[in-house]
A and B are shown apart, each in its own frame.
Chain A
């Protein structure tokens, strides 16, 4: 019995029980950044376009694909090689899936948060994080997602997911996170 299935079932129950409330994800893909309220006015939208809203309208617990652990849209991080900003082939399907979601949901908006590991200069890392977020945006643009739906920011090395000085830890920090409006 997979843990993911169990979580998925629990999520469905939670959705049914309190569909109008934001859902606490048991395994948040963006630990620190997800608690952030985005900065730009375009993201400061009080209208709820999240999955919880869909459930309300349909009157039953239709799971938002972005919150379904079995859906590729649940995955929100694109990882990069050291000092690089190329979106690697293995992350193309993920980025393409989110681009497709944006095309199919013109009202949906997301923010791409570029991050780096914590070695070297904070300012250079801030610049590198920006490159990473824009690199992901460029792939989404090619697939038809509108600039109006995508904002890019960089946190440089300021939002570490893993704090140890090991390659596996650094690899987790070299990433762009996909955060939808309202999350």
Chain B
């Protein structure tokens, strides 16, 4: 594993206006050299090329080429002189422009060029409002990422997390690069376990605002929220079914936390697990066939799975004495979880076919993993010098970013892909 630990400071102003400060640790062994040229749009805001460059840089898969020495930077295909870019050892070249469009709108066009083959890999046009510039830049970065890696990018997605500042807890939704944080809920009591509906329109979370854990579902469009479950005892650990119609939740039967399934409107509660132990942290597989969960039914906390229709659970993790917080990759092939090893709590993955376990971090207080919708990245909470921060690690463990804020950041959840 490459461990450069460069802690590079970005030359690009990604930190500006972003609530989360970003550090990149490590990088892929083979980085794609790419030049992203200025778009020079008429509103003179941050140039789109800066946002695109920052996205590509953060992925750890690209190396951005300095273009300061190039006399004339092309914006049209006809102006591109390939030998200039070959000399700079660029493999990819991104050119584009922003022009005024009807009704105060903007027309953004870009081309991705293969410098070696001297041809066009992609070309798109977007008709947008000025407020959609950043989002458009993320979409362009997604196109570039997909053309070079063959996998969908996640730059245009959103994340949620809980920020604790003094006595105040705030549930926040922000762009995946930390930009544009929007408070969803603020409280002086803890908020935990936020999770996105797979359709991206709602969050379910647990709030202690009534001095006990109660599950709420909140619309991200209207802001309206409803109580999903407020039964005697604890109501916690919501997990959406792949079709966003139902949730697996955890209620207490006396001493023991047990898994139930409930409709997204709070009706139709059905008990699922029936043990005399802790069964919690349910997660649906994306094909809907399994609910993974953590349980100490075997003595120590381990991860199991069972059908949402019921039946006998099967044990999934066997290495070590504490494996919790199961999260499935979108393709269902990998399980991310938190394991304790020698007093360290670290994020790890297990290949569900060959049961191979890989530890992905070198920190000691990891919690709450969440896969990006393309399965290539996992966001999780950890602590640095006692302060809660978020980390994003590639699922092969090679690239890590850290996102920190002025307060304690925890409970991250990666939102679904958007169209």
Contact = CB atoms under 8 A, between A and B. Distances in A.
Interface of A: 36-40, 83, 85, 118-124, 126-128, 130-131, 134-135, 138, 152-156, 158-159, 163-165
Chain B, interface residues (CB within 8 Å), range: 35 or more
B324 A124 contact: yes
Contacts of B324: 120-121, 124
A154 B386 contact: no
A126 B236 contact: yes
Contact of A37 (B193, B211, B250): B211
Contacts of A155: 190, 208
B281 interface: yes
Contact of A120 (B211, B367, B411): B367
A170 B86 CA distance: 59
Contacts of B301: 83, 120-121, 124
A131 B279 CA distance: 12
A166 to B, nearest CB: 11
Contacts of A153: 211-212, 233-234
Nearest to B381: A122
Given A83-B301, A119-B345, A121-B368, 8 more contacts: A39-B210, A83-B322, A124-B294, A126-B213, A127-B234, A135-B255, A153-B234, A154-B252
Contacts of A120: 301, 322, 324, 338, 340, 345, 367
A159 B250 CA distance: 20
A119 B346 CA distance: 11
Interface string B231-247: 00110110000000000
Contact of A122 (B212, B257, B340, B368): B368
Interface string B377-408: 00000010010000000000000000000000
Nearest to A135: B255
B192 A152 contact: no
Given A130-B252, A154-B213, A154-B234, A123 B325 contact: yes
Given A124-B324, A134-B254, A163 B386 contact: yes
A10 B294 CA distance: 50
11 contacts: A121-B281, A121-B338, A123-B281, A123-B325, A124-B280, A130-B234, A130-B255, A130-B257, A134-B255, A153-B212, A163-B386
A39 B340 contact: no
B365 interface: yes
Contact of B211 (A36, A138, A164): A36
A122 B233 contact: no
Given A120-B324, A120-B345, A121-B324, A127 B257 contact: yes
Nearest to B364: A165
A40 B208 CA distance: 13
A169 to B, nearest CB: 11
Contacts of B386: 163-165
Contacts of B219: none
A153 B206 CA distance: 14
Contacts, number: 98
Contacts of A135: 255
A61 to B, nearest CB: 31
B411 A131 contact: no
Contact of B190 (A119, A128, A138, A158): A158
B135 interface: no
Interface in B197-256: 208, 210-213, 233-234, 236-237, 250, 252, 254-256
* Interface-centre pick from A40, A83, A119, A163 (highest chain B CB count, 10 A): A119
Nearest to A43: B211
Contacts of B280: 123-124, 126-127
Nearest to B232: A40
Nearest to B191: A158
A83 B233 CA distance: 20
B278 A124 contact: yes
Given A123-B281, A127-B250, A39 B365 contact: no
A150 to B, nearest CB: 12
Closest 9 pairs (CB-CB, A-B) = A134-B255, A127-B257, A39-B211, A158-B190, A121-B324, A127-B278, A39-B212, A39-B210, A123-B237
Interface in B284-313: 294, 301
* Most A C-beta atoms less than 10 A away, residue of B190, B234, B278, B386: B234
Contacts of B233: 130, 152-153
Contacts of B190: 155, 158-159
Contacts of A128: 278
A121 B211 contact: no
B234 A131 contact: no
- Of A39, A123, A155, A164, the most chain B CB neighbours within 10 A belong to A123
Of A38, A118, A131, most buried by chain B (CB within 10 Å of CB) is A131
A164 B383 CA distance: 12
Contacts of B257: 126-127, 130
A134 B213 CA distance: 16
Interface string B97-118: 0000000000000000000000
